[in-house]
């Protein structure tokens, strides 16, 4: 009977060595994250480092939840971009708005989640869970974005990637004037030519200020359909050239779906032959059975054509707070992998879009459509 046991019944023995003073993050992850969501986080770290950061993989990152106010843009995301570990991004507008506080010399502070919010309101203090900051931070950032968006270069229709790239230049200039460096994600992305998209540009204080300018006769024109095509073009080009596409998802929400819908856009709508993203890595605390796990599980995503079914074993969902997982994942990757050459996809958007348009035209002419 013993010989009849399936081989997968047992994995490596759980017998970790005791942690010692001076243990590194990578040693801790590899040696002690052996079960439950600790093991899923180890799988996530290894998937990211061993497969997603291979030279032929284009990595997209999605960002939701209030992560930049907690300083994770500065501590983790900028290092990932500088190392070439993230090639393009989709973020909530709120994360980019709060990121800008740092770049223009404003401050966020540690606070308490059980603070008296009525008293905070009376004192002009705003709270994001256990982060606090002066109400003037909002007013100053609003004024900054309105000043930027009033510039003539923002009158033409543009994708959100173009908007963030142009706005990032102004944030970078303010950083330089203040004697700061690497304090703002949007400024860093500008310098590194990493395109950042926002799937719901009206759903943030940046969008609110753009709406105010519209009332004043200085409307912004974000071309959301350009966003759909540009993001699909990035993924299509990566696969067409014989490479792979990977999606790193922090949280969920609209940014997750917007990144994953690139494959149905390529296959279902544009009629091009494609199989789905190659690597899927999500950090979340949501559940699929309540409808809260936006875009759902990797297996469900396969049914939509979002994930290549042959790559499903390489998909990992770590049910961990992003504020815990991201620093660990970043430190692990920086210690295990040398920097990759920057892809500078922002500067290649027109070329990639032309390639997608040409392929779609050929598919229409041939009367073909993927199923």
- pLDDT per residue over 226-251, tens digit each? 999 999 999 999 999 999 999 999 99
In a domain, 75, yes or no: yes
Q: Is residue 34 part of a domain?
A: no
User: Smallest Cα–Cα separation from 202: which of 177, 227, 235?
Assistant: 227
Which whole number is the average pLDDT over 344-349? 98
Q: Is the pLDDT of residue 370 over 50?
A: no
Residue 103: give its domain's CATH number.
3.40.910.10
Place of tokens 């950083």: 175
Whole-number percent of the chain with pLDDT over 90: 85
pLDDT surpasses 80 at 361:
yes
- Whole-number percent of the chain with pLDDT over 70: 94
289 versus 196: which is more confidently predicted? 196
250 neighbors 285 (Cβ within 8 angstroms): no
Domain-located, residue 24: no
| 277 touches 245 (CB < 8 A) | yes
Q: Would 173 be classed as within a structural domain?
A: yes
The two three-digit tokens of residue 261, written as one number: 């819908």
Structure tokens at 219: 């409307």
pLDDT at 304: 67
Residue 11 has pLDDT above 90, yes or no: no
Q: What is the pLDDT of residue 344?
A: 98
Count CB atoms within 10 A of the CB of residue 185.
33
Is 293 part of a structural domain of the chain?
Answer: yes
Confidence of residue 300 (pLDDT cuts 50, 70, 90): confident
Active site residues: 306
Q: Is pLDDT at 299 greater than 90 in this prediction?
A: no
The pLDDT-based confidence of 288 (bands split at 50, 70, 90) is confident
**Could you tell me the residue range of the domain that residue 57 belongs to?**
41-363
Does residue 290 lie within any of the structural domains? Answer: yes
Confidence tier at 371 by pLDDT (50, 70, 90): very low
Contact criterion met (CB below 8 Å) for 306 and 312: no
User: What are residue 352's phi and psi, to 5 degrees?
Assistant: -65, -40
Q: Does residue 8 carry a pLDDT above 70?
A: no
3-state SS class at 6: coil
Cβ 274 vs Cβ 370: under 8 Å: yes
Q: Per mean pLDDT, which range of 26-40, 187-201, 246-260, 356-370 is the poorest?
A: 356-370
- Give me the residue label for tokens 């494959």: 263
Query: Do the beta carbons of residue 238 and residue 88 sit within 8 Å?
Result: no
* Neighbour count for residue 257 (Cβ, 10 Å): 18
Residue 18 lies in a domain: no
Q: Calculate the average pLDDT of the chain.
A: 93
In a domain, 15, yes or no: no
- Among 197-201, 202-206, 296-300, 334-338, name the one with the lowest average pLDDT: 296-300
252/172: higher pLDDT: 172
The three-point CA angle 136-137-141 to 5° equals 115
Residues contacting residue 91 through CB under 8 Å, at least 6 positions apart: 62, 63, 64, 196, 197, 198, 255
Q: Phi, psi (5° rounding) for residue 343?
A: -85, -25
Give strand ranges (E) for the chain: 57-63, 88-91, 109-110, 125-128, 131-134, 196-197, 244-250, 279-283, 316-318
For residues 20-32, give the mean pLDDT: 94
Tokens 């490479």 locate to: 243
Q: How confident is the model at residue 287 (pLDDT cuts 50, 70, 90)?
A: confident
**Residue 309 reports pLDDT greater than 90:** no
Sorted by sequence, the CB contacts under 8 Å of residue 359 that are 6+ apart come out as 236, 240, 270, 272
- Could you give the number of structural domains in the chain? 1
């Amino acid at each position: 009977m013993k010989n009849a046991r399936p081989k997968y019944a047992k994995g490596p023995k759980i017998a970790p060595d005791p942690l010692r003073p001076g243990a590194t993050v990578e040693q801790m992850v590899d040696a002690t994250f052996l079960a439950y969501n600790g093991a899923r986080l180890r799988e996530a770290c290894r998937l990211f480092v061993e497969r997603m950061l291979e030279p032929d993989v284009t990595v997209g990152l999605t960002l939701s939840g209030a992560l930049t106010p907690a300083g994770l843009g500065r501590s983790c995301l900028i290092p990932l971009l500088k190392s070439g570990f993230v090639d393009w991004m989709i973020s909530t507008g709120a994360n980019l708005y709060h990121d800008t506080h740092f770049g223009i010399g404003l401050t966020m502070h540690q606070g308490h989640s059980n603070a008296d919010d009525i008293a905070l309101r009376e004192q002009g203090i705003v709270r994001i869970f256990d982060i606090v900051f002066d109400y003037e931070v909002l007013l100053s950032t609003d004024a900054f974005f309105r000043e930027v968006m009033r510039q003539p270069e923002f009158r033409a229709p543009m994708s959100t990637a173009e908007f963030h790239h142009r706005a990032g230049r102004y944030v970078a200039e303010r950083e330089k004037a203040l004697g700061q460096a690497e304090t703002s994600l949007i400024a860093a992305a500008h310098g590194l030519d990493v395109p950042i998209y926002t799937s719901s540009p009206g759903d943030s204080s940046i969008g609110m200020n753009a709406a105010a300018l519209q009332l004043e006769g200085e409307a912004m024109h974000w071309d959301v359909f350009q966003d759909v095509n540009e993001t699909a073009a990035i993924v299509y080009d990566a696969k067409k050239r014989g490479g792979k596409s990977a999606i790193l998802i922090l949280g969920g929400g609209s940014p997750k779906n917007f990144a994953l819908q690139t494959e149905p856009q390529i296959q279902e709508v544009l009629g091009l032959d494609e199989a789905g993203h190659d690597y899927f890595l999500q950090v979340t605390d949501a559940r699929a059975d309540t409808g809260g796990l936006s875009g759902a599980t990797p297996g469900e995503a396969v049914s939509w054509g979002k994930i290549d079914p042959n790559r499903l074993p390489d998909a990992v969902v770590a049910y961990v707070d992003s504020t815990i997982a991201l620093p660990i994942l970043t430190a692990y990757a920086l210690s295990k992998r040398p920097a990759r050459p920057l892809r500078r996809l922002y500067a290649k958007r027109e070329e990639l879009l032309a390639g997608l348009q040409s392929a779609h035209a050929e598919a229409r002419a041939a009367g073909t459509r993927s199923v």
